[in-house]
Amino acid sequence: MRLVLCAVGQKMPAWADEAYEDFAKRFPPEMRLELKAVKAEPRTTGKSTEQLMAAEAQRLDAACPKGARRVVLDERGERVSSKQLAQRLEAWRGDGRDVAIFIGGPDGLDESIKSRADEKLRLSDLTLPHAFVRVLLAEGLYRAWSVMEGHPYHRE
């Protein structure tokens, strides 16, 4: 199974890329973490917010593996603990499909992405910079995997 982060924004600070890669490389081959970063629509074009998000949605859809379970990160999504995310990860693994986790751009995700989500999760009650989101999500997924596998990374 692959966990594919479909994210708007290609240029992140070096520290964020390094931290993300550090967690991504820890995953076992049977549960790889991959990043599919798509270009953010330029905010200087005079397009409406809806037009910007629609253009980004097309890119995100193209990056999403066919047949994948679609999980959207959204401020109104379900809040889960590390243990609950581990249970979710176990269920996703049992489903046998890849999992695409969508991270929106500066204005969020287009409704066309949200409406086709199998699940909506909230990473935090805070609004976070996109660089942090990638790192926190990678760490959270790795922590969930470690809980699921009984690995000593997570401690109560």
What are 5-29's pLDDT values in tens digits? 999 998 899 999 999 999 999 999 9
Q: Which domains does the chain have, with CATH numbers?
A: 3-149 (3.40.1280.10)
pLDDT at 150 over 70: yes
Please, what sign has the CA dihedral across residues 85, 96, 33, 23?
Answer: positive
pTM reported for the whole predicted model: 0.93
Residues 6+ apart with CB under 8 A from 117: 70, 71, 72, 102
124 annotated as a binding-site residue: yes
Using one digit for the tens of pLDDT, what is the confidence trace for 124-139? 888 888 899 999 999 9
77 annotated as a binding-site residue: no
127 annotated as a binding-site residue: yes
118 annotated as a binding-site residue: no
pLDDT of residue 155: 63
